[in-house]
A = this chain, B = another copy of it.
């Protein structure tokens, strides 16, 4: 099923603070070997590569996630054998512009993987929250940031059509993991030295909702609040 992005939960459910994990890492990995997410309690940033799920923690450490750990939100897919494209000396803005225009991505879900060396990387990591959970905007108001120059590693994430803002992040949503596992997190900025791009388009977007979770069932969501919170917390 390389034509499908599988998403557990919605970005929207994180907005009022539904940070309880509702899928195990083992279950999630049945739906994809590659992707991004967060752990229960909004505990850091999850990066899934080649069937292994890693957590970038707020203290800067990177560790592999155990099969039984739970996530409130994650998106995964199975990598296909799409050919890679070389990229050289490219800013983030130029890269995103190139993807949108050359590949006409605006209304398409796509997986973005960039393996290579980056002249600059800047990430942030959501800090672990405890119950009663705050809202997403409150939880992410202060986040540790991490930077690196001439870092070798992998950018992984998605482009989603703006129509799906709320269900997910409309536009680009990228995470990073360095090859030496010394730097990772939600990607705030990057500049490519030389790298290989693997761009995978998906005809299908499958959202799996935690419909057996009482808090999810009971929460009153508001689309405007969700839209604005995503633009604040996920950019």
Contacts and interface: CB of A to CB of B under 8 A. Distances in A.
Interface of A: 4, 10, 12, 104, 106-109, 161-167, 201-209, 211, 216-221, 223, 226
A164 B167 CA distance: 7
A207 B204 contact: yes
B167 A218 contact: no
Contacts of A217: 104, 106-108
A6 to B, nearest CB: 9
A45 to B, nearest CB: 23
Given A201-B211, A203-B211, A207-B205, A223 B108 contact: no
Centre residue among A108, A162, A166, A211 by max chain B CB count within 10 A: A211
A162 B221 contact: yes
A221 B106 CA distance: 9
Contact of A167 (B106, B108, B163, B201): B163
A169 B113 CA distance: 33
A204 B203 CA distance: 16
Contacts of A220: 106
Nearest to A103: B217
Contact of A107 (B106, B109, B219): B219
